[in-house]
Amino acid sequence: GTGTTWSTRYTDKFIMDRNLGAASADRAQGVDNTAGLYYQYGRKDPVPASNVVLYDGNGVALPRYHNDADCISRITGRVSIKTAVSYPYYFYRGNAEWMAGTNPYVANLWNNPAAGTGKSLFDPCPPGWRLPVNGTWNTFTLAGHVPNANAANNSAVNPGATIDYKGYTDQAGWDFYLSGSSGATAFYPATGFRDSANTGANVNKQITAYCWLATPYGVAGYGLCLYCTPNTVGSSSTSYRGHGLPTRCIQE
């Protein structure tokens, strides 16, 4: 569809208006419909939020696991790339990193390993699209949020905030100006993340937003991402590679 071209690190390209796998880009549809799918860094296969019910080809609901009735089985321990590809419906938990050993490609699974650029075969975006590189969200700042006098009061976490956050509600998220302090905006829902260092369940839903970047990060166990809280916006923050975060695609 048509939209506003993206100028940060790209020339005449479009970024998707929603997270990869999201049913809607409309805040009013709630976090469950705008969150999209969650990815452990470098894996080509996603998992849904832990409260999403999955069905087989006959419309029968799949078994539910864990104390939050998750359809995804959360397996303790690190695994090889081969195992992760063979068992795409498992979320690997208990560690900051999901991959076993010291594979030299671990930080480059979403890139061309030779240069840290280009789309790899593990990139989950559809043809013609790729995961974003570092710098994509540099224009997103606290000052670049859209003020909303009718938003839910953030006084518990950020007194006097003038951001369109609507924290702790089903519509929690951020509307960012794509350039400056006016004009077109992009909505990023407060998806939370799947916590690989602990149970593997979703945490911080309706509080924080994340989106993976494909650019490698030089510290073992970490990847780069967009990270938003009620009082912080980090355009190239870090997260454990084992965590499950959403992302969104940009034209190649």
The length of the chain, given as a count of residues: 252
Specify the pTM. Answer: 0.87
Q: Which long-range contacts (CB under 8 A, 24 or more apart) does 108-111 make?
A: 108/216, 109/41, 109/42, 109/43, 109/81, 110/41, 110/42, 110/212, 110/214, 111/214, 111/215, 111/216
Q: Are 99 and 78 in contact (CB under 8 A)?
A: yes
**Max CA distance (Å), the chain:** 51
Q: pLDDT tens digits for 70-79?
A: 888 999 999 9
Give the three-state DSSP class for 172.
coil
Q: Which residues of the chain have pLDDT under 50?
A: 1-2, 149-163
Kindly state the tokens that stand for 109. Answer: 């699974």
Q: Are strands 90-93 and 73-76 parallel, antiparallel or unpaired?
A: parallel
Query: What span, in angstroms and rounded, lies between the C-alpha atoms of 50 and 225?
Result: 21
Kindly state the tokens that stand for 77. Answer: 């321990």
pLDDT the model gives residue 227: 95
